[in-house]
Amino acid sequence: MKLRTMAAVAGAFAAGVVVGPVVAAWAQESGRAETYRLLNLFGDVYERIRAEYVEPINDRDAIENAINGMLNGLDPHSSYLNQRSYRDMQVQTRGEFGGLGIEVTQENGYIKVISPIDDTPAARAGIKAGDIITQLNGTSVQGMTLQEAVEQMRGERGTAIKLTIRREGADKPLELSLTREVIRPQVVRFRLESGDIGYVRVTSFNEQTDTGLRKAIQTLRQQAGAGGLKGLVLDLRNNPGGLLDQAVQVSDDFLEQGEIVSTRARRPEDAQRWNAKPGDIAQGVPMVVLINGGSASASEIVAGALQDHRRAIVLGVKSFGKGSVQTVMPIPGQGAIRLTTARYYTPSGRSIQGTGIEPDIEVLSQRQEANAGPPQREREADLRKSLRNEGGTPAQAGVPALPPLQLPPGVADKVSKQPAEGAPSFDPTKPETDFQLQQGLGLLRNLGAAQAVVPQRRAATQ
């Protein structure tokens, strides 16, 4: 009886902490007696499992699994974070961790280096783009997932790890011993294309994103010299999102006025709206935003805001379609819960939940075979228990409905939808193989050329 009482109290405590407002509303509607009856049911089941399961159970694991099951049953993005997961999430949002300083991908079962980060152990050790990591501390990486390999390379500052590397042109594998340091990943990478078009890739939205973006644009303007930037590509492909406030700030960086995004919660009084402040760090130069099925959440907020205000041309394929907001609620000494608390809407009132951002110009990353659709990847609408799309509302006050895209005659026709037959496969270490990027750069060049012709024609007729 004592165990049953303790179990019931534990169940009530877990439910009260995790979904207190929901329990309160439920009690008002269905009666407090029904609420306690169901909490007692939880305690009874927990007691039976604890006493009768074939092997002894870990109480913490059992309770955490129960809480996680309750949250997972709501939607795909609500979950319980134990203390370790919560710390990992805080590391990701802060944008720094103990590691080596390399960006990697997986290829043929091995780990391929995309790029070392400047002034990190990897860069100082001479690791190069294209290097293949075959072993970590003498253990083959084959059979590991990319995440497992990354976790092994991360660790406490000052600890060492040995990498075995295969490099093209080298007679034998390289053995490198590196000491981990605090790494601040380059969530913003950039370069100047053809001397006058800026390329900026944002890989996630953490606390460093807006600062990194502003530094990137400033550096690109300096590199462009007296002629200045003629265009800007903002690459949000495979960017899974992150912090809402960073998405708002990045959007604000390119908008002079108007709404950026709004959120609507369960209670109407909890609705919020963010508006842009004057000041465009790109000073109005034409922009292309690249998106794909891996662009989600905060990425979609930015793409949607710039598209609705016609500040940028969105190019690529339809985005993931995650139009919900998760709030992380710490539980003192017990980790945290991540709970879906609102839906977000673009400036024109669109909800992209389950539908995604449709590009203004569709461009596939790889060739589509005849009579076959493009390869499909899982999106929000495919996830179990994904939230339904509540639809949009009429245009917000002062914000017009999404206007049609207007380009100079012939400019859009020069954009190819898919690579030519026999085109090289995409290699992240070789930008020239990135078909979507090359089409975006070409669009900006053709747009600039067309706009330059218009004033000359007008002058000739006056």
Round to the nearest angstrom and report the end-to-end CA distance of the chain. 97
What b/e sequence results for 379-406 when a residue is b if at least 16 CB atoms lie within 10 Å of its CB, and e otherwise? bbeebeebbebeebeeebeebeebeeee
Q: What residue has token string 């009260």?
A: 16
The span from the CA of 235 to the CA of 303, in Å, is: 10
Instruction: Choose among 201, 207, 204, 210: nearest CA to 239.
Output: 204
**DSSP SS3 for 200:** strand
Residues sharing a CB contact under 8 Å with residue 99, sequence separation 6 or more, in sequence order = 153, 154, 155, 180, 181, 183
* Residues marked as catalytic: 297, 308, 322
The span from the CA of 220 to the CA of 193, in Å, is: 10
Tell me the β-bridge partners of 201: 189, 235
Please check whether residue 343 is in contact with residue 403, taking contact to mean a CB–CB distance below 8 angstroms.
no
Instruction: Choose among 237, 294, 242: nearest CA to 94.
Output: 242
Pairing of strands 272-275, 324-330: unpaired
What's the distance, CA 361 to chain centroid?
21
What is the helix (H) or strand (E) element at residue 35, kind and residue range?
helix 32-52
The span from the CA of 338 to the CA of 241, in Å, is: 15
Q: For 237, phi and psi rounded to 5 degrees?
A: -65, 140
Give, as one character, the DSSP assignment of residue 340.
E
CA distances from 447 to 99, 142, 184, 231, 362 (A): 43, 46, 36, 9, 17
Q: For 112, phi and psi rounded to 5 degrees?
A: -105, 135
The span from the CA of 462 to the CA of 460, in Å, is: 6
Q: Which two tokens stand for residue 219?
A: 């550096």
Residue 153 gets the label, from left (phi > 0), alpha (psi -120 to 50) or beta, of alpha
